[in-house]
Structure 1
């Protein structure tokens, strides 16, 4: 039973990483335009985030220090600063998308204008960060987010032609009127959504919050191998719902209501209510993760006291950083920018920032000074190197493809 509850961090990371606003929107958009022909990208992303999250969690368990803290010490302030600027900018953009996502989900439940929900959502996130213990936060948000399994239930209730649905999993070229450039633009967006930088920083810092040691290495692997693949499966289920209902109608997703339309058609009001609860929990959990990650990275770089295991008075600058990040997110949303558009841009810019995040993780995980006998093995290093090449290619291609395709228009 203790091991089961320990997996909650992995579940929260999966829901807040794979199933945040970025993944909800991107998978629904891709499903409505390409069917399941890009599901292979989700699989590639799952394997990649498992490889690097396992490294990051192992670093935290062996050294009892967060990955970002060691990156600055091991690679120096200049590399650390480049990593900090890139990751913080993407994390802030992602936090903005998550606060907007909470508001859009609450609009589905209440029909109240989302702009009225945005300050409420930000305030609720701050209150949880300020007052709720880390373990309670991760368990409650993670378990409520499990209701997103309603998307998988909806796939079965819709009664698709399973032969056709399975055949559509083939990684074919862009279907119909979609260009090859648009196909690869959304492939990179999916990849960025799966491997957003804040995930590894949250995962390792969460391990320090949980006081992981070498004895907990099995728990870290369990978190990774259950949490992230579970998030990947539900991501594909979201795309499948859109592929079954929206693709034949030629409807392209540009609102939260369109994302849940297949669920409503499949299971009616009850299943819709369950899924909306899951979306609120997922976006709220992601907002907690991204806000915490902003505090973690800034505090760890400058050597400030940090962590929810410390009272706010003993980690004042850590909490102040999170407050400022939430206020900046609200300021961006106050410009009346479309939260869906922010979400789509956030996953693409995540892909751009990936090299600055994952190369340092690989370096630290191979340093015997910090890791002792727990440095990476040959297989892990081979996978890490292969993914670094993929990450670099995705990073270099993201902006040109965004320009060429006009952000997938």
Structure 2
């Protein structure tokens, strides 16, 4: 039983990390506009985040130190400060989108406008971080997030033409209504939603929270191999639902509520209830992760005391940073900005800043001074090097494509 619950961190990272509001939105958007022509991006993202998280978890377990503690020491304060600035800004954007996603999910459930739910969502995130133990937080949110399996059931219940879906995925073609530049911009956006930097900050810091050691490296690998592929399957299912129902009708996803249209069509109100519970859990879990990550990365860089395993009075600055971040995110949402729009921009900027986080972890994971005999093996380094090229290419292409396509419009 402890081994089963030991996988909870991986499940939470997948449900509230891999499958956060960014992936919920982008999977449905690309499915409604391109069918499954961009399905290949999701497994590419899954393998990439598995490599990234596995290295980060191993670094934390072996060294006993979290990401930004090592980045500052290994690469120096200037490079670490540049990494911190970009990471904190993108983390704040993502957290804003997640809180907005929680509000949108409650709006679907109650028909009460999202503006009423924003302060309640923000307060709920702060209250859980302030009062709820890390283990309870990860178990409850992760398990409730499994309600998103309803999207897998929906794909089967819709009785699609399986050979047509397979053809779209295996031999992708750009629809006549879309351009090649938009196709690649959306590919980068979907990739950015799959490998968001905050996922790794949370995962490595969570390993410290749970006091992992080298004896827990097997648990770390199990978390990665169970959690992220599960998130990938759910993401593919959401894209497939949109491809089956929305794409033929030329309904483009511009609101989170449109994600559940295929679910309602296939399973009615009961299926909708499961979907809403899953979306609330996914977005709320991701809001917890991003809020914690805000405190983690700043406290680790500045050498402050941090961690949920410490009482708030013992890590006051850590908790103040999280509180101020939550208030800032809620304030941005109160300007009336659409959380979906914030989401679409946050995933692109995640792809842009990804090299700043990925490269330092790759360097440290190969440093015997920190890792001893647990440095990367040849296969891991080979795959990691390939992904470094992919990440750099996506980062360099993102802004030009954003300008040319008008952010994919």
- Pair 1:95-2:62 in alignment: no
Partner of 1:28: 28
Shift of 1:175: 1.2
Shift of 1:33: 0.5
Partner of 1:138: 138
Task: Mark the runs of 5 or more structure 2 residues left unpaired by the alignment.
Answer: none
Report Cα offsets for 1:285-318 as digits up to 9, x if no partner. Answer: 0000000000000000000000000000000000
Shift of 1:375: 0.6
Partner of 1:66: 66
- Pair 1:80-2:80 in alignment: yes
Report Cα offsets for 1:173-232 as digits up to 9, x if no partner. Answer: 311210000000000001100000011111000000000000000000000000000000
1: distance between equivalents of 2:373 and 2:50? Answer: 21
Partner of 2:126: 126
TM-score by length of 2: 0.99
2: distance between equivalents of 1:356 and 1:35? Answer: 32
Matched-pair contact (CA < 8 Å) for 2:18–2:199: no
1: distance between equivalents of 2:18 and 2:310? Answer: 28
Residue correspondence of structure 1 range 40-51 to structure 2 within 5 A: 40-51=40-51
Shift of 1:171: 4.6
1: distance between equivalents of 2:280 and 2:218? Answer: 31
2: distance between equivalents of 1:244 and 1:221? Answer: 34
Query: SS of the residue aligned with 2:40?
Result: helix
Shift of 1:166: 1.2
Report Cα offsets for 1:7-56 as digits up to 9, x if no partner. Answer: 00000000112211100000000000001111110000000000010000
TM-score by length of 1: 0.99
Query: SS of the residue aligned with 1:27?
Result: helix
Matched-pair contact (CA < 8 Å) for 1:38–1:171: no
- Pair 1:53-2:71 in alignment: no
Partner of 2:209: 209
CA distance 1:23–1:109, shift in 2 (3 Å):
same
Partner of 1:303: 303
The CA RMSD over aligned residues, in Å, is 0.7
Residue correspondence of structure 1 range 157-168 to structure 2 within 5 A: 157-168=157-168
2: distance between equivalents of 1:383 and 1:71? Answer: 22
Report Cα offsets for 1:315-364 as digits up to 9, x if no partner. Answer: 00000000011011011111110111001111001000001010000011
Report Cα offsets for 1:119-149 as digits up to 9, x if no partner. Answer: 1000000000000000000000000000000
Partner of 1:188: 188
Partner of 2:375: 375
Matched-pair contact (CA < 8 Å) for 1:173–1:183: no
Task: Mark the runs of 5 or more structure 1 residues left unpaired by the alignment.
Answer: none
Partner of 1:279: 279
Matched-pair contact (CA < 8 Å) for 2:155–2:237: yes
Matched-pair contact (CA < 8 Å) for 1:366–1:376: yes
Partner of 2:391: 391
Residue correspondence of structure 1 range 249-398 to structure 2 within 5 A: 249-398=249-398
Query: SS of the residue aligned with 1:253?
Result: coil
2: distance between equivalents of 1:68 and 1:238? Answer: 34
2: distance between equivalents of 1:19 and 1:52? Answer: 16
1: distance between equivalents of 2:213 and 2:221? Answer: 13
Partner of 2:155: 155
2: distance between equivalents of 1:171 and 1:68? Answer: 41
Query: SS of the residue aligned with 1:408?
Result: coil
Shift of 1:165: 1.2
Query: SS of the residue aligned with 1:89?
Result: helix
Partner of 2:244: 244
Partner of 2:39: 39
Matched-pair contact (CA < 8 Å) for 1:40–1:171: no
Partner of 1:104: 104
1: distance between equivalents of 2:315 and 2:61? Answer: 22
Partner of 2:7: 7
